[in-house]
Structure 1
Amino acid sequence: MRRLQRITNCVLTKNDKALLLQKPSRGWWVAPGGKMELGESIKESAEREFREETGLQVENVNLRAVFTIVIVENDQPVNEWMMFTFQATSYKGQLFEQSPEGKLEWKNISEVAKLPMAAGDRHMFSHVLHDQGVMHGTFYYTTDFDLVSYRLSTE
């Protein structure tokens, strides 16, 4: 029986840079984040996960995207999760030299689209870094994380 997982992440932007995390397993760049804990709001989860992975306390945190991510095998859903993406524009604290989750690096916003990442994250980063409002969508991936199809809308 599959269980719906809830994930939050946050894109911290400052001037023309975004703080990203490179995960060691695939070498993909992501927005710092992770699984929600019982009883947390999505905003509390995003702030906690960001702090645990970067050492920074984000401020001015706003919801920017909500996605359903479905993993399919033999045309059948085998896993599903919801991802809530926030953006922050200021922070307090000292950035970890090394995150427990991988390598942290400030990247020029202009180079983010060229980095290795999940195909759906390209849409998320493009929206958060260049557009306004909240994006909604669903991504369908294979178990190897090849993007099969997607649909997106913004408000």
Structure 2
Amino acid sequence: MQRVTNCILTKSNEALLLRKPSRGWWVAPGGKMESRESIRESVIRECKEETGMVINNPELRGVFTVVIEEKGSIVKEWMMFTFQANNFSGKLLNKSPEGELAWTPITKIPHLPMASGDYPIFDHVLYGEGLIYGTITYDENLNLLSYRLDTAGEQFQE
């Protein structure tokens, strides 16, 4: 099973987002973990590679199973570990190798094009507290089929 880390970097009332060219969707910078790498090492490395920023003390905010299914059968599945950081240094890359970078007002995030399952993740990281767990299921075209989220004993489903 593939493992992925990402990080929502925040400053004031903005978050650093990455727009992927393939679909034009905005995401939190991150990517695949390498062999023998911890999730913390991965998120620090991925953020630096994609943004130029070195994050300090990233806080784990979400652990998710992401499933792609076709006609009820699992086609692909991975684990995603979402962090938040507001302490970082470095110089923002003029051009990321992964797409367009932009500091975005937090209030605009719910209106940006992104994977449907990312909206509740961003909402929790930006406005909630603690750690959230979940399973997000898409079809092969990345249409959201369902999600289950659990934070501090409260469960949310769609």
| Per-residue Cα deviation, 1:47-74 (whole angstroms, up to 9, x for no partner) | 1000000001011310000000010011
1:150 is matched with 147
Runs of 4+ in 1 over 2 A off after TM superposition: none
Structure 1 unmatched ranges of 5 or more? none
Normalising by structure 2, what TM-score? Answer: 0.95
Counterpart CA distance in 1 for 2:115 and 2:15 is: 17
Q: Percent identity?
A: 57
Counterpart CA distance in 1 for 2:132 and 2:49 is: 26
2:60 is matched with 63
Counterpart CA distance in 2 for 1:114 and 1:126 is: 12
Alignment RMSD? 0.6
Alignment of 1:31-42 (within 5 A): 31-42=28-39
Alignment of 1:19-98 (within 5 A): 19-98=16-95
2:124 is matched with 127
Q: Report the secondary structure of 2:35's partner residue.
A: coil
In the alignment, residue 72 of structure 1 is paired with which amino acid? E
Counterpart CA distance in 2 for 1:60 and 1:120 is: 26
Counterpart CA distance in 2 for 1:152 and 1:92 is: 32
Normalising by structure 1, what TM-score? Answer: 0.97
How many matched pairs?
Answer: 152
Aligned pair partner of 1:112 in 101, 109, 114: 109
Structure 2 unmatched ranges of 5 or more? 153-158
Aligned pair partner of 1:11 in 5, 8, 13: 8
